[in-house]
Structure 1
Amino acid sequence: MKKLLVFGIGLIGGSLALALKAANAGWHVTGVGRAGDSLQEALALGIIDEAASDIATALQDADVVMIATPVAQIAPILQRIAPYLEDKTVVTDAGSTKADIAEQAQHILGNAASRFVPGHPIAGAEKSGPSAAQATLYQNKNVVLTPGEHTDPAAVQAVRALWASTGAVVREMSPSGHDTIFAAVSHLPHLLAFALVDELAARPDADQFFEFAASGFRDFTRIAGSSPEMWRDISLANRTALLQELDRYQATLADLRQSLEQGDAAGLQAIFERASHARNAWAKRNTSASWKN
């Protein structure tokens, strides 16, 4: 059997393991994690075949290493595995930022950097840990790979095949292009949701506001229930692109504020109509397409 070593057996890494098992893809999955309790839970749930604590031993005969941890932990893990990587071993990750990780891998892995394939599955949920893992999480979902100019094509193909066996749709783009896009469509929405909930929660009469919050508030703030640690790391790792998106968003808010102050009904309606049209068109494409974000 092919050997897959997974760092981080939570929602992302655990779902990958379950999807591979459901597909009978012929992988033996070894889990490595920070917390022994999580590894034991993953074993008990049948997510992994084996738990490992000694990295040198775990890496023996490994075909693929998947690093499915918060982005701030990826570079330290690369440093830990670098001395023990075999010539055949392909390394990939599931981090939500790519340019920083690709650059770190070049410095840390040396010659083995050609076998590092940065990746990002565009799938997730607010829950975390092994119990949140789902065998169907990646079906018809995008997985973005961002190989560099010197990435071994065979390594890219190995990671493509790994994800394809989960039912994912594998796409490629540059690391910088990835970070620009996801700063706008993923990272910024999370910042806004966290900010709104935090601002309301800090009010003396917060309980009254939350008591009357309904579906609009629930839908807008759903992602504020995500892992604070993970989104702290993502925000800092992609801060340049994210700051640019914040500036653009604040400019739009300034336009809205001006329209409100001036009682400009036509201005407000124009913004709302453009947004409504774009949102409905996106939803229609997303429903009819074979893949979803």
Structure 2
Amino acid sequence: MGRLEGKVFIVGLGLIGGSIALAIKKAHPEAMIIGYDVNERQLGLARSLKVIDEAARSPEDGYGQADLIVLAVPVMQTEALLSSMPLERLKRGVIVTDVGSTKQRIVQGARRLLDHGVAFIGGHPMAGSHKSGVAAARAHLFENAFYILTPTDDVPPQQVEALKQWLAGTKAQFVILTPKEHDRITGVISHFPHLIAASLVHQAREYECENALVSRLAAGGFRDITRIASSNPEMWRDIFIHNKHELLALFDRWIAEMERLRSFVEEENSIAIYHYFLEAKQFRDGLPSRTKGAIPSFYDLYVDVPDYPGVISEVTGYLAEENISITNIRIIETREEIYGVLRLSFQSEDDRARAKACLAKHTNYATYEG
């Protein structure tokens, strides 16, 4: 695919919008990237970091110039922007897309664009980070990730190909789904798991009223398996409202599944319980481990370190010397005169591999992946 020229207008300059801007600029250096964000600080930062070439004063200021419009804002805001977009000011042949993790209501909200002959193609890059904001934006954020596109029958195939060409710099794997297929799949693998994680945390919080040891004992594995419950509450509120119908169906199936499992336990059906866990293990062990999915991966490296002053700065110092960035660090266990465990989190599989090699070169500390 060749390089494209033209103007790209990105509304919303957070991690996703900023990373898309960088990926487009990398593949199409002659294109002009215009950006807008309600947060003036983010907008200014995007300009100073050269994530965008030019800042728009308002969405309306950028719409009319653009050959491609990317709405990189939360789903509720996307709906509002679609309903207020001035169709008469849009360029002929413009493509409009979004990045939201729900699609049916978004595509329905874009009906006025489609009826006006404007190509709206729903999009969802299934990659992210545990960082946020335009300062965390990276051109390679979506590399090897699945990028879902949900064009309707109204959109000519050549427009879908044109969008793929604009987004070629993401190096993502494009998958075409219907809006309903998308919402059902993401409901199962992303939306509902967030709900389960939050409900487990609520259960622990309620038990803590009976015994204060709950939160102390939950600091290890429980904290790890419920990590996603720390996600943005405003974003998840909007997603749950948007994907209401798919989630209600999942609630019904989940309740039936829990009733079935409850009966196994109540009847002490050891064979059924064993096979329940065995089948879950077999399916999970067969899932791709190095492919980006709907929930951002945690690239963790556990390091056994002796307990002496300065050991943490020693480990991080070696990594800093090789410009390996850590996204999070946590002391899982350390007791006097025995080895403790550091959990280092990285933004990518490559960073974790480099860190492992770095520590093997400089220390004799045992390392293992999470």
Structure 1-normalised TM-score? 0.90
Q: Which residue of 2 aligns with 1:122?
A: 126
- Work out whether 1:134 is the aligned partner of 2:123: no
CA distance in 2, matches of 1:252, 1:26: 54
Structure 1 residue runs of 5 or longer lacking an equivalent are none
Which stretch of the first structure deviates more once superposed, 196-205 or 30-39? Answer: 196-205
Aligned residues: 287
Q: 1:259 to 1:104 in 2, by over 3 A?
A: same
What CA deviation, in whole Å up to 9, does each residue of 1:173-227 have, x standing for no partner? Answer: 1111111111111110111112222332354368633322355323321212221
Q: Which residue of 2 aligns with 1:254?
A: 259
**What is the DSSP-based 3-state SS (H/G/I as helix, E as strand, rest coil) of the residue aligned with 2:20?**
helix
Q: 1:16 to 1:256 in 2, by over 3 A?
A: same
Q: 2:244 aligns with which of 239, 242, 257?
A: 239
> Which structure dedicates a bigger proportion of its chain to helix?
1
What CA deviation, in whole Å up to 9, does each residue of 1:66-103 have, x standing for no partner? Answer: 01111111121113323321112110011111111111
Q: 2:214 aligns with which of 194, 203, 209?
A: 209
> Which structure dedicates a bigger proportion of its chain to strand?
2
- Work out whether 1:229 is the aligned partner of 2:237: no
Structure 2 residue runs of 5 or longer lacking an equivalent are 294-370
Query: Aligned-pair distance for 1:239?
Result: 0.9
CA distance in 2, matches of 1:122, 1:225: 19
Instruction: Trace 1:54-65 onto structure 2 (pairs within 5 A).
Output: 54-65=58-69
Q: Which residue of 1 aligns with 2:339?
A: none
CA distance in 1, matches of 2:45, 2:204: 36
- Work out whether 1:180 is the aligned partner of 2:184: yes
Which stretch of the first structure deviates more once superposed, 143-152 or 260-269? Answer: 260-269
Q: 1:144 aligns with which of 121, 145, 148?
A: 148
- Work out whether 1:5 is the aligned partner of 2:5: no
Query: Aligned-pair distance for 1:119?
Result: 0.8
Cα contact 2:25–2:33 (8 A) shared by 1: no
Which stretch of the first structure deviates more once superposed, 59-68 or 45-54? Answer: 45-54
Which stretch of the first structure deviates more once superposed, 41-50 or 28-37? Answer: 41-50
Q: 1:49 to 1:71 in 2, by over 3 A?
A: same
Q: 1:44 aligns with which of 24, 43, 48?
A: 48
Cα contact 1:200–1:206 (8 A) shared by 2: no
Q: Which residue of 1 aligns with 2:31?
A: 27
CA distance in 2, matches of 1:165, 1:240: 35
CA distance in 2, matches of 1:279, 1:92: 33
Task: Output the amino acid matched with 1:234.
Answer: I
**What is the DSSP-based 3-state SS (H/G/I as helix, E as strand, rest coil) of the residue aligned with 2:50?**
coil
Computing the radius of gyration from Cα coordinates, the structure with the larger value is: 2
